[in-house]
A = this chain, B = another copy of it.
Amino acid sequence: MGELSRRSGVPIPTIKFYLREGLLPPGVATAANQADYDEEHLRRLRLIRALIDVGGVTVAGAREVVAALGTHADDPLDLLGAAQTAVEPRHRPDRDTPQWRAARERVTALIADRRWLIHPDSPAIDLVADALAAADSLGVDELLDKFGEYADTADRIAAVEVRAVLDRPDPASRMELVVLGTVLGEALLTSLRLLAHQHESARQLGGG
């Protein structure tokens, strides 16, 4: 465990916590107080840290993703669902209002217009409705006005990401990219968007 901690940079108490919480499988016991951990443990530990540190996923969310990796090994769409659930925000607005329900209906109509192939109960539809309902209550018309541009942008990067998953040679490594790509890709896209805001502000304002 000392070596696992050294190589992963994760403190021993944290590793013990992940073992207790079932995020990390136990090592192979070699003596009363000794266990062997292998490269798979190191890899799993790095996955957990990426989910939590970079993806902002909770410990419970990371446990779900790890469990999905074990049980949905043969169903990429189930795994996609688990990865999507894990990155969902923890705070949620009140969805039991007429305004929110109107926003959700608007989202399903917009998706139908685009002929997107989406499960009608997908939780991601609710997340889109959260954003539109908040924009509406604040009088921010631009989100709805530019909905097509947001959807085109999202579809463009999603096409690249799904292609990258299908380009991987075997099911296990595809699965891994579904999970990690969902989380790390979001972190990369949103941080680059913040940089691009600076660049575009300077460019469009004609500054340096």
Residues of A in contact with B (beta carbons under 8 Å apart): 9, 43, 46-47, 49-50, 52-54, 56, 76-77, 80, 84, 87, 89-94, 97, 111, 116-119, 122, 124-125, 127-128, 130-132, 134-135, 137-138, 140, 142-143, 145-147, 149-151, 153-164, 166, 177, 180-182, 184-205, 207-208
In the assembled complex, how far is the CB of residue A119 from the closest CB belonging to chain B, in whole angstroms? 7
- Interface SS, A side: helix
Return the 7 tightest CB-CB contacts between A and B, nearest first: A158-B196, A127-B191, A154-B192, A117-B202, A53-B93, A124-B194, A162-B200
Q: Within 8 Å CB of A52, what residues of B?
A: 91
Contact with A204, one of B54, B166, B187, B191 (Cβ below 8 angstroms): B166
Q: Are B199 and A130 in contact (CB under 8 A)?
A: no
Using CB atoms, name the residue of chain B closest to A198: B118
Docked-complex contact A49 and B189, CB < 8 angstroms: no
Report yes or no: A153 in contact with B203, Cβ–Cβ below 8 A: no
Q: A157-B149, A189-B189, A196-B116 are in contact. Are A138 and B202 (CB under 8 A)?
A: no
Contact A162 B91 (CB under 8 A): no
Residues in B whose Cβ lies below 8 Å from that of A153: 153, 156-157, 189, 192
